[in-house]
Chain A
Amino acid sequence: MTKRSYPLITAIIILFAFLGYAFFAEKSDQNSAEPKTPTVGILQLMSHPALDAIHQGIIAGLKEEGYIPGKNINIDFQNAQNDQSNLKTMSSKFANENADLSIGIATPAAQALANSISDRPIILGDITDPKGAGLVKSNDRPGGNITGVSDKAPFKLQLGLIKRLMPNMKTLGIIYTSSDDSAVAQYKMFKALCKQEHVKLKAYSITNTNDLNQVAQQAVNSVDAIYVPTDNTIAGAISTLVGAANQAGVPIFPGVDTMVKAGGVATYAIDQFQLGVATGKMSAEILEGKKKPATTPIKYFTKSKLIINERAAKKLNIHIPASLMKEAQTKGEIVK
C-alpha cells in the first residue's frame, strides 16, 4: 500500500461511514414532514409523438380538475430517453421526494415505479396489459397501490373498416415489433379476431426499425393490405413502410392516428391526448382521496374516432363511401 492509495482508502471509509450513519438515521426517522403542495411525478420511457401526447393530456386533465402546475401542484417530469438504467434512479427520486402520486407512461416506466414505490399511489398511463406486465393482481380489482388507464385498440371497428374499404381483399398482412411486449399482445388479440371473422392473416415482425424496409418489401408482395397495431417502433419509421407499400400499391391501415397522417389510409384510432386527459382526471380523483387505487378498476379507454387520409386513398384508388367521409368529417378527421 503506497501513498497513492490513500484517496481510495479514504473514499471507502467515507462510504462505509455514510452507510452506517444512514442505516441508523433512517431507522429513527422514517417519516419526515409532508410538503403542503402535492407533488406528482411523471415518468416517461422515451420521447415519441404518442407518448408525448399522453403526457400533455395528463397535464390538461389535471388542469381540468383544478390542479394548476406550479400553483397548487408540483409536477416532476422525467424522461428516461429509452435508457432503462435511468428508470430506477428516476423512480427512487420520486420515492425520495415523497411524491404524492406517480404516473408511469409505457410499461418499463410503470414497472420501475412499481418496484420503487409501494406506499403511495401509482397511475398507469397507456399500459396495454397491466396484469400481463405484472403490475396489478387483476384488471378489475388491482388490489395494491396501482391502477390506471389502458388503451384497448378498437380492433373490431378497425377490421370492419378494412373489410369495408377492401371488399376484394384475400390476405391481410400485419407488421409488428417482436421486442415490444405491448405490440406482441396486440398482434395476438388481432390474430384471434381475424380467425373469428374468417380473415386470412399473414404476420411479419421486426426487431428494430432497420429491419422494416426489407420486411415491408417482402410483405407487400404477398398481401393485399397491411395492418399496423399501436406499435411505438413502427410509428417512428412509418414513412419507410408507406414508401415500400405504396410502390406496390398496397394500402396501410394503422392503429394510430399519427400513422394515418403519415400516409396510412384510414383507421378508428384512440385519441392519445384524450387518453392522457382521462389519466390526469383519474390521478386528480386519487389525489383528492375520492378513490383508492386498490379498488379502482383499470379504466379501458375505448373512445375512438374515424380518421381518413383522402390523399393516400386517392393515390391507391380506394373508394371511400360517402357515409364514412361524412362520419370522419363530423366526428373524426380527414387528412388532405
Chain B
Amino acid sequence: MSILVSAIGQGLTWGIVGIGLFLTFRILDFPDMTVEGTFPMGAATAVAAIYHGFSPLAATLLAFCVGMLAGLVTGLLYTKGKIPVLLAGILTMTAAYSINLRIMGRANLSLYGKSSLLDLFKGLPPYFNSVFLGMIVIIIVTALIIYFLQTNLGQAFIATGDNSNMAKSLGISTDTMQIMGLSVSNGMIALGGALVAQENGFADVNMGIGIIVVALASIIIGEVVFGELTMNERLIAVTIGSILYRFVILIVLQLGFNANDLNLISAIILAICMMFPAFEKRFQLKRSLSRGISKHE
C-alpha cells in the first residue's frame, strides 16, 4: 500500500509542474520549452541554497523567483525580440543548462545530512511526508491561481490566450500578459523542481530531460478522464491527472515489462490518451458509453 502512497505524493508534487505548464500550454496556447531548463534550475537553486546554509523554505522561494526570471527571459525574447515562442523557449532552456552548472558548481549536488522541507513532517507513516508537503503546496498554488484568474488582470490574461488580436483591440497589453504568464508558469515549474529535488535528496543537471512529457501527461490525462470542466475544475483535474500518470507508470513497472521498454510504453500510453478525444468524436464513444451507464440522459 505504501507504494500507492508514494505515487500519490509524487503525483501531488508533479502536479505543481503540470499546473505551471497549464498556464502557458492551455491558457496562453504556447508550446513553452523553457520548462526543461527551469525545472532543473529550481532544483539546482534550492539544493545549492540549502547547501550554503539557507533555510529550506527560503531556498524553495528563491527557486521560484529564479524560475520566474528564466520565464521572463523567454517572454522578452518572444515579445520584444520577436523570436518564435518555441525557439525562444529552446534558447532559454539551452542557456539554463550552463547556468545550472554554475549555480551548483558541479553537475550533481546532494542534500545528504542537510535539512529539507520534508523535515517539517516527521514521525508520519512512510511517504506521508511528501503527501502532506505536496498537498499543502498544491492547495496554496491552486487557490492562488484560481483567485488570480477571477481578477481583472486574470481575465485579461485569459483573453490574451483566447484571442490576442481581440484582446489588443480591447486595450489589453498582450505583451505584458504573455511575459507575465511565462514568468509565473516557469516560477511554478522551478518550484516543482525544488520540491522534487528535496524529495529525491539531490539535484542533477540532467534531471530536466522528459519533464515536458510528464507535465503534458498530467494535463492531458486530466482532460481525457474528466471531460469538459470549468476553468477552476480543469486546474484541479491537472493534479488528479498527475497522480493517475504516476499510477500508470507504477502499473507498467509492476507488470514487469522489460526495463528497456519503459519509455516506449509510457509514450504509447500517452499517445492513446492524446488520441482519445479524436476517437471519441469519430465513434461517438461518449454517447454510447453514457447510454450504457445511465438510462435517463
- List residues of A whose CB falls within 8 A of some B CB: 2, 4-5, 7-8, 11-12, 15, 18-19, 22-23, 25-27, 30, 44, 47, 77-90, 92-93, 95-96, 107-108, 111-112, 114-115, 133-135, 178-181, 184, 207
Q: Is the CB of B200 within 8 A of A25?
A: no
Q: Is the CB of A12 within 8 A of B236?
A: yes
Q: Is the CB of A85 within 8 A of B207?
A: yes
Q: Is the CB of B126 within 8 A of A26?
A: yes
Q: Is the CB of B10 within 8 A of A111?
A: no
Given known A84-B206, A96-B6, contact A134–B125 (CB-CB < 8 A): no
Q: How far is the CB of A69 from chain B (nearest CB, A)?
A: 14
Determine the chain B residues whose CB is within 8 A of the CB of A85 once the complex forms.
14, 196, 207, 210-211, 214
**Chain B 1-32 residues near chain A, CB threshold 8 A:** 1-8, 10, 14
**Chain B 200-251 residues near chain A, CB threshold 8 A:** 200-202, 204-207, 209-211, 214, 225-230, 233, 236-237, 240, 243, 246, 249-250
Q: Is the CB of B233 within 8 A of A8?
A: yes
State which of A22, A78, A87, A108 has its C-beta within 8 Å of the C-beta of B5.
Answer: A22
1/0 per position for B115-154, CB-CB distance to A under 8 A? 0000000001111100100000000000000000000000
Given known A11-B240, A79-B259, A207-B97, contact A114–B201 (CB-CB < 8 A): yes
Distance between Cα atoms of A134 and B200 in the complex (Å): 13
A-B pair number, CB within 8 angstroms = 155
Q: Is the CB of A4 within 8 A of B259?
A: no
Kindly specify which of B60-68, B79-87, B102-110, B277-285 makes contact with the partner chain: B102-110
Determine the chain A residues whose CB is within 8 A of the CB of B55 once the complex forms.
none
Q: How far is the CB of B218 from chain A (nearest CB, A)?
A: 12
Q: Is the CB of A92 within 8 A of B6?
A: yes
Select from chain A the residue with minimum beta-carbon distance to B297: A3
Q: How far is the CB of A214 from chain B (nearest CB, A)?
A: 15
Distance between Cα atoms of A207 and B225 in the complex (Å): 40
Q: Is the CB of B112 within 8 A of A114?
A: yes
Given known A26-B125, A179-B101, contact A78–B259 (CB-CB < 8 A): yes
Q: List 23 A-B contacts (CB under 8 A).
A: A4-B228, A5-B229, A11-B225, A11-B226, A12-B236, A12-B240, A19-B5, A79-B262, A81-B259, A84-B200, A86-B262, A87-B200, A88-B200, A107-B108, A111-B110, A115-B199, A115-B200, A178-B101, A178-B107, A179-B107, A181-B204, A207-B97, A207-B101
Select from chain B the residue with minimum beta-carbon distance to A6: B226
**Chain B 234-276 residues near chain A, CB threshold 8 A:** 236-237, 240, 243, 246, 249-250, 253-254, 259-260, 262-263
Determine the chain B residues whose CB is within 8 A of the CB of A83 once the complex forms.
209-210, 263
Determine the chain B residues whose CB is within 8 A of the CB of A27 once the complex forms.
125
Q: Is the CB of B101 within 8 A of A89?
A: no
State which of B8, B110, B260, B263 has its C-beta within 8 Å of the C-beta of A133.
Answer: B110
Most A Cβ at <10 Å: residue of B8, B106, B254: B106
Determine the chain A residues whose CB is within 8 A of the CB of B14 once the complex forms.
85
Q: Is the CB of A8 within 8 A of B229?
A: yes
Q: Is the CB of B200 within 8 A of A22?
A: no
Determine the chain B residues whose CB is within 8 A of the CB of A184 once the complex forms.
106-107
State which of B110, B206, B228 has its C-beta within 8 Å of the C-beta of A82.
Answer: B206
Q: Is the CB of A82 within 8 A of B209?
A: yes
Select from chain B the residue with minimum beta-carbon distance to A119: B126
Determine the chain A residues whose CB is within 8 A of the CB of B207 once the complex forms.
84-85, 108
Q: Is the CB of B263 within 8 A of A134?
A: no
Q: How far is the CB of B134 from chain A (nearest CB, A)?
A: 11
Q: Is the CB of A22 within 8 A of B225?
A: no
Distance between Cα atoms of A285 and B237 in the complex (Å): 49
Q: Is the CB of A89 within 8 A of B246?
A: yes
Given known A89-B7, A93-B3, A135-B110, contact A4–B227 (CB-CB < 8 A): yes
Determine the chain A residues whose CB is within 8 A of the CB of B229 once the complex forms.
4-5, 8
Q: Is the CB of B112 within 8 A of A134?
A: yes
Select from chain B the residue with minimum beta-carbon distance to A177: B107
Q: Is the CB of B225 within 8 A of A7?
A: yes
1/0 per position for B187-204, CB-CB distance to A under 8 A? 000000000100111101
Most A Cβ at <10 Å: residue of B201, B207, B240: B201
Given known A22-B125, A111-B201, A115-B201, contact A180–B8 (CB-CB < 8 A): no
Q: Is the CB of A5 within 8 A of B233?
A: yes
Determine the chain B residues whose CB is within 8 A of the CB of A22 once the complex forms.
1-2, 4-5, 125
Distance between Cα atoms of A25 and B229 in the complex (Å): 34
* B292 close to A (CB within 8 Å): no
Determine the chain B residues whose CB is within 8 A of the CB of A115 once the complex forms.
199-202
Distance between Cα atoms of A191 and B279 in the complex (Å): 60
Q: How far is the CB of A95 from chain B (nearest CB, A)?
A: 8
Determine the chain B residues whose CB is within 8 A of the CB of A134 once the complex forms.
110-113, 201-202
Q: How far is the CB of B264 from chain A (nearest CB, A)?
A: 9
* B173 close to A (CB within 8 Å): no
Determine the chain B residues whose CB is within 8 A of the CB of A207 once the complex forms.
97-98, 101
Distance between Cα atoms of A93 and B263 in the complex (Å): 17
